């Protein structure tokens, strides 16, 4: 069998497995509510163990195609799981969630992580009709390291080295306490006297970008979401803990200010009593703010589409 035929066969098998993988029904008591989940769907041929995603769909099939949230988990780019999902409640409000795993930094340095996220996004959108989701109405979201990757996924749409398709643009970005500017992270952690944060930065930063002596200003700039702020960015909702000692609140404030200066619709929610992650980010009050933001983005998007149709 020729190499070309083998590759075609693998691609066909990948599509078959992804579309027809066995779905599991979840009860109403699950964190997602009553839903259907299909686990471990590979998004590339010859997928590594972590190059897959879970797809969670609301049970109301009559509401298809569902709007989609592409969720990216945290874990300092070197641990974690697609089960770490801060917005499970959105399935109860009619959203599908594709929760993505990606290669960890000890296995593959940056930009492997964002390349995986773009590969997952491209694959999911290519098969949106089969999954019952809307390729025109999706948002990207993540927490901590996943927030960093979600920002890159939503804002760095012109970066071919990231595997981004410039024609693809999310309706919005949800950033839960993600690092935004690596060039200032050490100074920010020093300012709040967080030795815990400095130790993690040394460990995680070295695994992600290489030893500090090998890190170049250009490399740090390329890996920082704030680099990609421009007027074409989609709306951004930023959630940040006021007591965060791993990703200082100034990182989120700096992004908020840069987006505002660029004229990008964005909102910063500081959860004063919260540190890095935790239950305060999924309270009914916080969930209501997230849902309100998504509803506003959806309304604005529909208004623009109606305007375009009548021009």
DSSP calls for 119-144 = HHHHHHHHTHHHHTEEEEEEEEEEET
Worst-scoring range by mean pLDDT, 21-30, 42-51, 133-142?
21-30
Q: Which two tokens stand for residue 41?
A: 């769907």
Has residue 261 got a pLDDT over 70? Answer: yes
Domains and their CATH numbers in the chain? 21-309 (3.40.50.1820)
Contacts of residue 186, defined as CB under 8 A and 6 or more positions apart, other chains included, come to 198, 201
Question: 21 falls in which pLDDT band (50, 70, 90)?
Answer: low
Looking at residues 19-30, what average pLDDT do you find? 78
* H/E element, 194: none
Residue 130 to residue 116: CA distance in whole angstroms? 21
Q: What tokens does 180 get? A: 């935004």
- Over residues 160-186, mean pLDDT: 97
More confident residue, 86 or 9: 86
Q: Are 85 and 99 in contact (CB under 8 A)?
A: yes
How many helices, marked H, and strands, marked E, lie in the chain?
9, 9
CB-CB neighbours of 49 under 10 Å: 10
Q: Which two tokens stand for residue 64?
A: 């298809």
Work out the mean pLDDT of the chain and round it to a whole number.
Answer: 91
Residue 304 has pLDDT above 60, yes or no: no
- What is the C-alpha to C-alpha distance for residues 256 and 219, in angstroms, rounded to an integer? 23
pLDDT tens for each residue of 188-240: 999 999 999 999 999 999 999 999 989 999 999 999 999 999 999 999 999 99
Q: Residue 303 has what pLDDT?
A: 46
pLDDT tens figures, 96-107:
999 999 999 999
Q: Which helix (H) or strand (E) holds 262?
A: none
Question: How confident is the model at residue 233, as a pLDDT?
Answer: 98
Token pair of 223 as six digits: 């890996």
């Amino acid at each position: 069998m020729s190499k070309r035929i083998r590759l075609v066969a693998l691609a066909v098998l990948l599509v078959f497995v992804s579309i027809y993988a066995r779905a599991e029904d979840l009860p109403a008591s699950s964190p997602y509510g009553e839903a259907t989940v299909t686990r471990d769907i590979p998004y590339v041929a010859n997928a590594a163990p972590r190059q897959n995603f879970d797809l969670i769909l609301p049970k109301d099939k009559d509401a298809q195609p569902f709007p989609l949230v592409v969720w990216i988990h945290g874990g300092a780019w070197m641990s974690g799981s697609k089960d770490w999902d801060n917005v499970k409640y959105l399935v109860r409000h009619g959203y599908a969630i594709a929760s993505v795993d990606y290669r960890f930094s000890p296995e593959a340095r940056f930009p492997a992580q964002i390349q995986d996220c773009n590969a997952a996004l491209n694959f999911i959108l290519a098969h949106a009709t089969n999954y019952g989701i809307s390729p025109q109405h999706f948002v990207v979201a993540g927490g901590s390291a996943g927030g960093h990757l979600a920002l890159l996924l939503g804002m760095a749409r012109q970066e071919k080295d990231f595997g981004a398709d410039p024609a693809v643009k999310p309706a919005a970005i949800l950033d839960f306490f993600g690092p935004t500017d690596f060039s200032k992270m050490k100074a920010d952690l020093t300012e709040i006297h967080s030795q815990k944060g400095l130790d993690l930065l040394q460990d995680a930063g070295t695994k992600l970008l290489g030893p500090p002596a090998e890190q170049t200003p250009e490399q740090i700039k390329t890996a920082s979401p704030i680099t990609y702020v421009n007027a074409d960015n989609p709306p951004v909702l930023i959630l940040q803990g006021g007591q965060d000692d791993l990703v200082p609140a100034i990182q989120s404030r700096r992004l908020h200010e840069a987006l505002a200066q660029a004229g990008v619709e964005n909102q910063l929610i500081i959860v004063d009593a919260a540190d890095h992650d935790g239950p305060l980010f999924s309270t009914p009050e916080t969930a209501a703010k997230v849902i309100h933001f998504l509803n506003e983005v959806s309304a604005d998007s529909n208004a623009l589409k109606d305007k375009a149709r009548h021009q």
